[in-house]
Amino acid sequence: MKKDFQETMKFSLEKEPSITPKEIFEKVFQALKEKGYDPINQMVGYFISGDPTYITSHQNARVLIRRLERDELLEELVRFYMENNGLDD
């Protein structure tokens, strides 16, 4: 097959579509439940230790949770808690 070098090739550095912290939590939570783990305990273990092996690789959960820094995820959790308990004034 002969290439047509007159056409412009498209290159993109964006490999994966963006995903919100909420979507990350939902997907990781579900993957942990599917594998029979207690999602709360596993996520707390990850946040405290930084060890990604607390998160299952099932459904790509370990890769997902590492897309954001732990402090960014914790900030999202605290913000959600505060906003949903009337403490965000």
Q: CA-CA distance, 70 to 43, in Å (whole number)?
A: 10
Do residues 52 and 62 make contact, with C-beta atoms less than 8 angstroms apart? yes
CA 85 to chain centroid = 24
The CA-CA-CA angle for residues 13, 46, 89, to 5°, reads 85
Query: pLDDT confidence of 43, banded at 50, 70, 90?
Result: very high
Among the listed ranges 1-5, 7-11, 70-74, 85-89, which one has the minimum average pLDDT value? 1-5
